[in-house]
Structure 1
Amino acid sequence: MPEGSTYTDKTTGITYVSDAGFVDGGVSGEISAEYNYDGLDLQLATLRSFPHYTRNCYTLRPKQGKNNRYLIRLRFLYGNYDSKGEPPQFDVYLGSDLWFKDIYIPDPSVDYYIEMIHLAPSDYIHLCLVNTGKGSPFVSVIELRLLDINMYEPLSTSLDVLHRASYGLNERVRSAF
């Protein structure tokens, strides 16, 4: 999104802001028109790619600060934004620690996400996309949500979410803080 702009998702009530104040560098882009259909989450229509440098990092400074638990979710929709027809493959780091190796989205019309429950040891969180020589890294959405500190106790580090499942509900359950 353009610097200074915001968007509130009608379904979740989550407010999204431009990433301009959280990252140095990168190139703003939009997915190709053929992948931008009615009903697509608006926040997935734009992205930031990193064709320069090997490591490009976001610095998130949650107002609640350190010693709090956060859900961190990154979403990716390639959407042939670069007109190359070849989705890139890259790594994602949380600070200096490898979070996810070889992110690859083979279908340009499908959005992909990774998420983690993270206990922040400092007042900032660094998320880095690393070019592994297989195309320019990109990200469509970064979500950072404060969780109740008592959730997932006695967890004293981060918890990588591998799968999310519903056992018995026929509706989506969400809670905004």
Structure 2
Amino acid sequence: MPIDVSPYTDPVSGLVFTSDSSLIQTGKSGRVDKAFDKIDIEPYLTLRYFPEGQRNCYGLNVTSGTTYLIGANFLYGNYDGNNTYPNFDLYLGPNKWQTVDLEENINGSRLEVIFIPRSNSLELCLVKTGNTVPLISTIEIRPLRNDTYVPRLGSLTSSFRIYFNASNNYIR
């Protein structure tokens, strides 16, 4: 999210999005192509991409022992005009979280994990694995009650989510 638009409150969900400028010193800002402007949520129209370096990391402030839902959204949106969908790895701390393959998910991808940090800081890193440039649209960090999800060992990652709801509203 560009610093000049930050903070941005989504009118539907009430979520507040802020610029990542204080969380990372590398990367460049981009905006998806006008063809992707049909997306209703402003933060997903901007992104940070990392043409330099093999590994670029966000420094996140967290509270040790607190359960967090950490979400990451990725939308290429042909921001660079090259029409080349990126593929790269995402790490949470020292551990590989998942490979992000936007060629398989041309309309964007969302990853979620339930995580309990062991310190008050956490790195979320994008790692270049080929010729394409890693990018990220949003990072969401939400503290949960410690009894909401109880991972026995390690973290819990989502596989899919289904809403059983007759409403047309998007649920967050």
For the 8 Å contact 1:80–1:108, the answer to whether it is kept is no
Q: Match of 2:48?
A: 48
Query: 2:165 aligned to 140, 163, 169, which one?
Result: 169
The whole-number CA distance in structure 1 between the counterparts of 2:2 and 2:108 is 21
Matched letter for residue 51 of structure 1:
P
Q: Match of 1:130?
A: 127
For the 8 Å contact 2:2–2:46, the answer to whether it is kept is no
Q: Measured at CA, do residues 85 and 145 of structure 1 come closer, stay the same or move farther in structure 2, by a change above 3 Å?
A: same
Residue 165 of structure 1 and its aligned partner are, at CA, apart by 1.7
Residue 136 of structure 1 and its aligned partner are, at CA, apart by 0.5
For the 8 Å contact 1:35–1:109, the answer to whether it is kept is no
Deviates more, 1:86-95 or 1:109-118: 109-118
For the 8 Å contact 1:79–1:108, the answer to whether it is kept is no
Q: Match of 1:7?
A: 8
Q: Measured at CA, do residues 173 and 140 of structure 1 come closer, stay the same or move farther in structure 2, by a change above 3 Å?
A: closer
The whole-number CA distance in structure 1 between the counterparts of 2:154 and 2:137 is 26
The whole-number CA distance in structure 1 between the counterparts of 2:77 and 2:130 is 20
TM-score normalised according to structure 1 size: 0.88
Matched letter for residue 32 of structure 2:
I
Unaligned runs of 5+ in 1: none
Query: What RMSD, in angstroms, separates the aligned Cα atoms of the two structures?
Result: 1.7
Residue 157 of structure 1 and its aligned partner are, at CA, apart by 2.5
The whole-number CA distance in structure 1 between the counterparts of 2:171 and 2:54 is 38
**Pairing 1:7-26 to 2, within 5 Å after superposition:** 7-26=8-27
Matched letter for residue 118 of structure 2:
P
Q: Measured at CA, do residues 81 and 108 of structure 1 come closer, stay the same or move farther in structure 2, by a change above 3 Å?
A: farther
For the 8 Å contact 1:9–1:15, the answer to whether it is kept is yes
- Runs of 4+ aligned structure 1 residues displaced above 6 Å come to none
For the 8 Å contact 2:85–2:106, the answer to whether it is kept is no
Tell me the number of residue pairs that the alignment of Structure 1 and Structure 2 aligns.
Answer: 169
Cα displacement string for residues 72-121 of structure 1 (whole angstroms, at most 9, x for unaligned residues)? 000011100111101111000011101002x1122786121011000111
Cα displacement string for residues 31-53 of structure 1 (whole angstroms, at most 9, x for unaligned residues)? 1112112x531111100000000
Q: Measured at CA, do residues 108 and 100 of structure 1 come closer, stay the same or move farther in structure 2, by a change above 3 Å?
A: closer
For the 8 Å contact 1:95–1:127, the answer to whether it is kept is yes
Unaligned runs of 5+ in 2: none
TM-score normalised according to structure 2 size: 0.91
For the residue of structure 2 that corresponds to 1:134, the secondary structure is coil
